[in-house]
Structure formats: C-alpha cells, structure tokens
Amino acid sequence: MGKATVIPFGPQHPVLPEPLHLDLVVEDETVIEAVPQIGFIHRGLEKLVETRDYNQFIYVAERICGICAFGHSMGYAETVEKLMGVEIPERAEYLRVIWHELSRVHSHVLWMGLAADAFGYESLFMHCWRLRERVLDIFEKTTGGRVIFSVVKVGGVVRDIDDAMFAEIKRVLEGIKDDYRQLCNAFLKDSSVKNRTVGVGVISHEDALAMSMVGPFARASNVNNDARCLGNGGYGKLADFQPVLDGQGDCYARVKVRALEVLQSIDIIEEMIAKIPAGDIVVDVKGSPAAGAEAANVVEQPRGECYYYARGNGSKYLERMRMRTPTSQNLAGMATALAGCDLADVNMIVLTIDPCISCTER
C-alpha cells in the first residue's frame, strides 16, 4: 500500500452543480475515508421567518432550492395549516399532488442528465434535458413560472387547472412516456453505462437502516422511508401506492429507482387527473398561530423525506420554522459509500446520491 494522501474534492468541481467539499484520504487509487464539508452558501433563510409573516414566508420557502421549489412551498403550507388547524379543499390537495409529482419528474430527469454528463455521455444528457423542457412547459402553462411557481398558499392553492389543460397534460405525459422509455434503455441496458454503475458505491440494507437514510438513496438499498406511504393530503386518495425498491444498493440501483419513479409519478398524475373533484381551491385563513403551538410534518421531496417544524408566538410571525432536508440526512451514508471506492468512481457515487447543498444549508 502507498502512502495516504488527502485529495480535496470540490467545492468547485465539474461534477458538482453546488458547492460541496470532500477531503478524500486515498492510498494509491483507493479512497480510505471521505469527510464531507458544507457551509459555503448558508443564507439564513430560517431566520427570515422572524421578519416575514406566515403568508409571506411561503415565497421564501419555495426559494430554498430551485429544483424542490414546489415541494418546499407545499411542505411549509401543510405544516402551517396543521399548526392552525386549517383543512384545505379536496381539489387543492389533488392539485398539489399533481404539481408535486410533475416536480419529481422534472427533478429526476434533470438528475439523470447530470449523471449522463458525469459518465461522459453528453448526447444522453441533452436528450434528458430536452425531455425535461416539456415538463417545464406544463409548469409554465399551468402556473406562469418554470422554476418558481408561487401557486401554493396557506389554505390551498391560488390557481386552478381546467379540464382542457388536464387533457393537454395527459397528452404531453403520454408523449414523454414513449421517449422516456428509450432513455431508460440507455441508462439501464447500455453496457458502457453499466460499467460505470454496477457494483459501484454499494450501501448495504443494514448500513442504510443504521444511518437512517432517506429517498431514492435508501430505496435502492431496499429501505422504504417513502413519506408518500403515509397518505398525507392527496396521497391518501391514491388507490394503491407501492414505493419503487431495489436491493442492490449500488449506483446502478440508484439510477434504476429514479428511472422507474418517473414512470410511477406519471401514473400518479394520471390517476389524480381522473379522480380530481370539482369545488373550491382555497379557504380563507384568519388569525395567527397560538403562542407556543407546535407542528411537525414530513413530505417526500424528489431527493427524499423532508421534515418541517413550525412554532407560533401568538402573532402573524412564526417563532421558528425548520426544514430538515434529505441531503442532511444522507451525508453520513455518502461518506460510507465513498470509503473503499476507486478515486475515479467518486463523481458517480456523489452524483447518484444527488446532494442538494442549497437545501441542506438554507
């Protein structure tokens, strides 16, 4: 064995869209230990809750992350509704699920493009992002925004979708499905892609359980922590929901779980469109959260379970708002997956875990 050397990885690195630093202790070409460090883009968004009332803060919440924007606004609104005992109309619950699952499709396809770019398959990256554009077009037509939608408010949603638009969404999703299956073939059957992913960065089922991992990262190790199973809001109206699981725990399994979840999300959207009831989309919310009142909630974001906590102080400003994002929970798992891998595989392992640093630091 050679002498141990520390190689700094990031915060500026071609494979990382966001600043994450890793101290990689290597011997020859093998990583012995990886110590992650974040903290380069802490923005203090949780502190802002003191100067923005509970209705205004929803616009801050959805700016925590550009990819999980809708999920954060929905998670925040659900938590405040729980805090104040507000029941939202059923149609609003369905609309939230439709937009949230569309966000999952766009997030997963974006991530698959980045993964393709990381293993040097640039044309696949472009195909993925071209497909994602069609989802962003749906966002633009239904909300007016492509990244930040601002359609959620405490008490429901501010925009409705009419039947003609639902028909259009179904037509676009059918088209996406056909093209997406071809992309999946490249990710799951191409031998050059499999050479980079199969057996790389394995996390066993026991390790995934021991480190409380969440999201597709955990589901690829056969750990079901999918918060959608809890049936919050519109998810409770689904006829049957079975999370996508795989037992291999390697990079290939993580790609596979995400790839299949896109098709699952499209099925959920189609079911919601078929079942959505008529009626109001918002209820009036009056008053302020009581002093000392507390509420906690979990939402399944594209990257995994996100925990929200709110505490009132009797005024329209919250005393505390907390978002625990999936990446915070998965950093220990990432360090474990990196220990013992080849130096050349570090970028694939980091990408398949899909860390979101702007969410983590807020």
Partner 1 sequence: MTLETTFVPLTVEELPALAAAKKADGWRFVQILAVNTEEGIDLIYSFMKDNLLENREIKAIQKGAVVPSITDQFLEAFVFENETHDLFGVNIQGIAIDFGGNFYALAQKEPMTIISPEQKAAREKAKKVAAAKAAKEKAAAAANAAYKAEHPTPKEPGEPIVPTGDDDAELKLAGADPEKVARARAAIAAKAKKAAEGAAQEQKDAALEEKLAGMDPDKAAKVRAAMEAKAAREAAAAEKEGE
333 lies in the binding site for partner 1 (CB under 8 A)? yes
Angle between helices 251-275 and 346-353 (to 10 degrees): 20
Q: What is the pattern of x (binds partner 1, CB under 8 A) and - over residues 124-153? A: ------------------------------
Give the DSSP H/E element, type plus range, for residue 32.
Answer: strand 30-37
Tokens 């299949």 belong to residue: 260
343 lies in the binding site for partner 1 (CB under 8 A)? no
For the chain, the residue count is: 362
- Answer for which of 26, 38, 83, 118 binds partner 1 (CB under 8 A) is 38
Q: What is the pattern of x (binds partner 1, CB under 8 A) and - over residues 255-294? A: ---------------------------------x--x--x
- Answer for which of 225, 264, 301, 358 binds partner 1 (CB under 8 A) is 225
Q: Are 250 and 202 in contact (CB under 8 A)?
A: yes
Task: Give whichever of 2 and 44 is closer to partner 1, judged by the CB atom.
Answer: 44
Task: Name the nearest CA neighbour of 121 among 129, 130, 111, 113.
Answer: 113
Q: Which of residues 163-222 bind partner 1 (CB under 8 A)?
A: 209-213
Q: Which of residues 46-105 bind partner 1 (CB under 8 A)?
A: 46-47, 50-51
Q: Are 13 and 1 in contact (CB under 8 A)?
A: no
Angle between helices 69-84 and 90-118 (to 10 degrees): 150
Q: Residue 174 to residues 91, 137, 215: CA-CA distances in angstroms?
A: 23, 15, 26
Q: Are 120 and 357 in contact (CB under 8 A)?
A: no
One-character DSSP codes across 73-129: HHHHHHHHHHHHT----HHHHHHHHHHHHHHHHHHHHHHHHHHHHHTT-HHHHHHHH
361 lies in the binding site for partner 1 (CB under 8 A)? yes
35 lies in the binding site for partner 1 (CB under 8 A)? yes
Query: 322: helix, coil or strand?
Result: strand
Q: Minimum distance between the CB of residue 317 and partner 1, rounded to whole angstroms?
A: 5
Select the span of 41-49, 126-134, 194-202, 266-274 touching partner 1 (CB under 8 A). Answer: 41-49
23 lies in the binding site for partner 1 (CB under 8 A)? no
37 lies in the binding site for partner 1 (CB under 8 A)? yes
The contact set with partner 1 (CB under 8 A) reads: 35, 37-40, 42, 44, 46-47, 50-51, 209-213, 225, 227, 229-232, 236, 288, 291, 294-298, 307, 309, 311, 313-315, 317, 319-320, 322, 324, 328-333, 360-361
